[in-house]
A and B are shown apart, each in its own frame.
Chain A
Amino acid sequence: MASHGLEKGQSVQQLIAQSRNKKGKKIIEKSMPILLIITALISVFTTIGIVFTLIFETFEFFQRVSITDYIFGTEWMPFSGNEPTYGILPLVLGTLKVSVIAALVAVPLGIAAAIYLSEYASDKARRIIKPILEVLAGVPTIVYGFFALTFITPILQQLIPSLKIFNALSPGIVVGIMILPMVASLSEDAMSSVPNSIREGALALGATKLEVSLKVVLPAALSGIISSVVLAVSRAIGETMIVSLAGGATPRFDFNVTDSIQTMTAYIVQVSSGDAGYGTTIYYSIYAVGFTLFIFTLLMNLLAQYISKRFREEY
């Protein structure tokens, strides 16, 4: 048996002892955690980087534009040569129009799909539908934007003749389609985590599936569903390409959804695609708008986390 390899009388432990205490092994063992901490800190630095970049450049912006004019101003006309005005409200309103329309599309459809998937669908149906939702979630936003501009808008124009080429309705609907998978899958997660014993309790009393879904499962999963909606709306607020392509570039302070609008994100894209010189007020304005956008989405994300933590059901 030991005709080759191990010499007679040589034990594995002796071989191990020979190769022990190699310097390299110890150095790796000590240095890897440090390297890994550094990689872990990169994500922290990214956040810090985003916040500080936005704050510094926004600060520069407010050296030139009054902060009250910015927050309360109802006119956003940075390109008017003589007297540019920087009132953020029209951009905020544009963003809100699109987000509200998107939520009106995504919330009912998304929750309905979640109820169907979690309470009614057979395993087979679920295996077909869920990947399709995943694909829908993976479609690049530029594709959705193109779809809104060249397909949804013309169809809507047939229904509403006064609808302009650029408007809030069409991108709103398409943003709704985009965030629908998010609402559906996160809500479904929340509903499927409601234990079966609770369902069985209601079913055993003769409740129909509908009654179980609406009166037992939905209330039990409510915090998860609400936080999924908040997250999805936050995504809609930050959505850029769809509104840039189909929303237009006309910031306006009204509640009209058939006219061209401009969202915060679309403004940043508009300035970036043009050639706003470095150091001009317009250049700094995209950071101010970006910062405003960041605060909106951050608040919504924190709200979603708070809801799902604070109201988590204990089963």
Chain B
Amino acid sequence: MVDLKTKNENEKLIIKSPSQVDREASPSIEKSTVFETKNFDLWYGDHHALKDINLSIKENEVSAIIGPSGCGKSTYIKALNRMVELVPSARTTGEIIYRGRNIFDASYEVEELRTRVGMVFQKPNPFPKSIYDNIAYGPRIHGIKNKKILDEIVEKSLRGAAIWDEVKDRLNQNAYGLSGGQQQRICIARCLAIEPDVILMDEPTSALDPISTLKVEELVQELKDNYSIVIVTHNMQQAARISDKTAFFLNGEVVEFDNTDKIFSTPTDQRTEDYISGRFG
């Protein structure tokens, strides 16, 4: 299965992300770990939001995080690219190892981490700029000024987010003129433009209508060929539909983390079963 996909990519892709290059060099059936979370705790002031989290997220998989609101699932995903640090009262202990380095190391530049680990937010948040400038934002801040390269990145990213055909004739229009679903795919394209290794998605469809949701879900399926994806969702069906692994969070703890099929068919923990069968949350 995995080998097949890799082969496919070789034909399809001209531009490769480093993770693919790595993989080609040492092809193996066992997927390598992207994020290894070890004994991770997080506080907002006095509030203990995440308790002793241990999780490992694998390459080229969709890992879903589910749980009732307030369970810490959004906090966890925002810890992975250190966005939690925007909350002044946030404090952490423990480690999150990203490809061999603890992201909380003093020497780890947060900008570098976020360049490798992109994020798509709950509410579509394009900049009030043209579609083109939205996509080119990332490459530009990282010093890519060549117009030809930018043109190419914009087209490739929009194609990657399956929205190129809808917007190719109006790249200079303000992204705010688009529908909510289109805006969210623009945000995904904006994220793809710097070719991240991992894409974090924080309830990306919660503000969208069912049809737009479907499109984003299909997109996630396509993206997992090239990217590792962590998606937070309040929608259990969505997790079941699109993810390979699922983690169930409750009160800041990981109750269960396993293959999605297993979680939704034969969960080991009673609380997981209660949640997925709709008894609470």
Contact = CB atoms under 8 A, between A and B. Distances in A.
Report if A and B touch in the complex (beta carbons < 8 A). Answer: yes
Interface residues of B, number: 25
Contacts of B224: none
B45 interface: no
A6 interface: yes
Contact of B153 (A8, A12, A14): A12
Interface in B14-35: 14-18, 21
A248 B182 CA distance: 69
Given A10-B15, A11-B15, A12-B194, A1 B155 contact: yes
Contact of B16 (A4, A9, A18): A9
A6 B15 contact: yes
A98 B90 CA distance: 55
Contact of B18 (A1, A11, A19): A11
B142 A19 contact: yes
Interface in B112-164: 112, 115-116, 139, 142-144, 146, 148-149, 151-153, 155-156
B195 interface: yes
Contacts of A13: 17-18, 115-116, 194-195, 197
Given A16-B142, A16-B194, A11 B156 contact: no
B231 interface: no
Among A5, A8, A9, chain B packs the most CB atoms within 10 A around the CB of A5
B115 A16 contact: yes
A15 interface: yes
Contacts of B151: 5
Among B112, B142, B144, B156, chain A packs the most CB atoms within 10 A around the CB of B142
A13 B142 CA distance: 9
A8 B142 contact: no
A22 interface: yes
B148 A12 contact: no
A20 interface: yes
Interface residues of A, number: 18
Given A4-B148, A5-B148, A5-B152, A12 B143 contact: no
B14 A8 contact: yes
A37 interface: no
B144 A20 contact: no
A250 B90 CA distance: 65
A7 to B, nearest CB: 10
A13 to B, nearest CB: 5
Interface in A19-41: 19-20, 22
A11 B195 contact: yes
A2 interface: yes
A18 B156 CA distance: 21
Contacts, number: 63
B7 to A, nearest CB: 17
B208 interface: no
A201 B2 CA distance: 66
Contacts of A10: 15
A16 B148 contact: no
B149 A20 contact: no
Given A2-B152, A5-B152, A6-B149, A12 B144 contact: yes
Nearest to B157: A12
A272 B143 CA distance: 57
Contact of B14 (A2, A4, A19, A22): A2
A34 B115 CA distance: 26
A5 B116 CA distance: 22
B195 A20 contact: no
A9 B15 CA distance: 5
Among A1, A5, A12, A13, chain B packs the most CB atoms within 10 A around the CB of A12
A5 B54 CA distance: 43
A1 B15 CA distance: 10
A198 B116 CA distance: 52
A2 B143 CA distance: 20
Interface in A138-182: none
A16 B144 CA distance: 7
Given A1-B155, A20-B112, A12 B18 contact: no
A5 B149 contact: yes
B186 to A, nearest CB: 18
B149 A15 contact: yes
A2 B149 CA distance: 9
Contacts of A5: 146, 148-149, 151-152
A20 B139 CA distance: 12
26 contacts: A1-B152, A1-B155, A2-B14, A2-B15, A4-B148, A5-B152, A6-B15, A8-B14, A9-B15, A9-B16, A10-B15, A11-B15, A11-B21, A11-B195, A12-B15, A12-B144, A12-B153, A12-B195, A13-B116, A15-B139, A15-B144, A16-B143, A19-B142, A19-B144, A20-B143, A22-B143
Interface of B: 14-18, 21, 112, 115-116, 139, 142-144, 146, 148-149, 151-153, 155-156, 193-195, 197
Interface of A: 1-2, 4-6, 8-16, 18-20, 22
Given A6-B149, A11-B195, A16-B143, 20 more contacts: A1-B152, A1-B155, A1-B156, A6-B152, A9-B14, A10-B15, A11-B15, A12-B15, A12-B193, A12-B194, A12-B195, A13-B17, A13-B197, A15-B139, A15-B142, A16-B115, A16-B142, A19-B142, A20-B142, A20-B143
